[in-house]
Amino acid sequence: MNLRSVAFLFLLFFSGSLAAQKQINVVATNSWTAAYARAAGVSSVDQLAPSSMIHPSEYELQISDIKKLKEADYIIYSGYEVVVPQIQKSLKIDERKLIKIETGYTEELMIREIEKIARIVGTIKFAQQSATQLSLLFARSRFEIENAGLKGKPVIVHFFQEAFAREIGLKPIAVFGPSHPELHELAAISEKEAVLIIDNVHNQVAQPISAMKKSVKVVSFLNFPGTHDTQTLEDVILYNLSQLLPD
The string of pLDDT tens digits covering residues 71-96 is 999 999 999 999 998 888 888 888 89
Rounded Cα distance between 42 and 18, Å, is: 17
pLDDT at 22: 58
Comparing 15-29, 65-79, 104-118, 193-207, the range with the smallest average pLDDT is 15-29
Whether the pLDDT of residue 15 is over 60: the answer is: no
Q: What is the CATH number assigned to the segment(s) 3-131?
A: 3.40.50.1980
> What would the mean pLDDT of 98-121 be, rounded to a whole number?
98
Whether the pLDDT of residue 217 is over 80: the answer is: yes
Rounded Cα distance between 228 and 242, Å, is: 11
> What would the mean pLDDT of 172-201 be, rounded to a whole number?
96
Whether the pLDDT of residue 12 is over 90: the answer is: no
Closest by CA to 161, choosing from 148, 176, 145, is: 176
Whether the pLDDT of residue 20 is over 90: the answer is: no
Query: What's the pLDDT tens digit per position in 113-166?
Result: 999 999 999 999 999 999 999 999 999 999 999 999 999 999 999 999 999 999
Give the phi and the psi of residue 116 in degrees, each rounded to 5: -60, -45
> What would the mean pLDDT of 39-44 be, rounded to a whole number?
95
Domain 142-242: CATH superfamily, name plus number: Nitrogenase molybdenum iron protein domain (3.40.50.1980)
Asked, colleague to colleague, whether 3-131 and 142-242 share their fold, the answer is yes
pLDDT at 247: 72
pLDDT band at 2 (very low <50, low <70, confident <90, very high): very low
pLDDT at 4: 46
CB neighbour list of residue 53: distance below 8 Å, 6 or more residues apart = 30, 59, 224, 226
User: How crowded is the C-beta side of 4, counted as CA atoms within 13 Å?
Assistant: 0
Rounded Cα distance between 109 and 192, Å, is: 29
User: How crowded is the C-beta side of 16, counted as CA atoms within 13 Å?
Assistant: 6
Whether the pLDDT of residue 213 is over 70: the answer is: yes
pLDDT at 31: 98
Whether the pLDDT of residue 13 is over 80: the answer is: no
Whether the pLDDT of residue 11 is over 80: the answer is: no
Whether the pLDDT of residue 27 is over 60: the answer is: yes
pLDDT at 21: 40
The domain spans of the chain are: 3-131, 142-242
Which residue did the predictor score with more confidence, 1 or 34?
A: 34
Rounded Cα distance between 7 and 5, Å, is: 5
The residue type found at 190 is: S
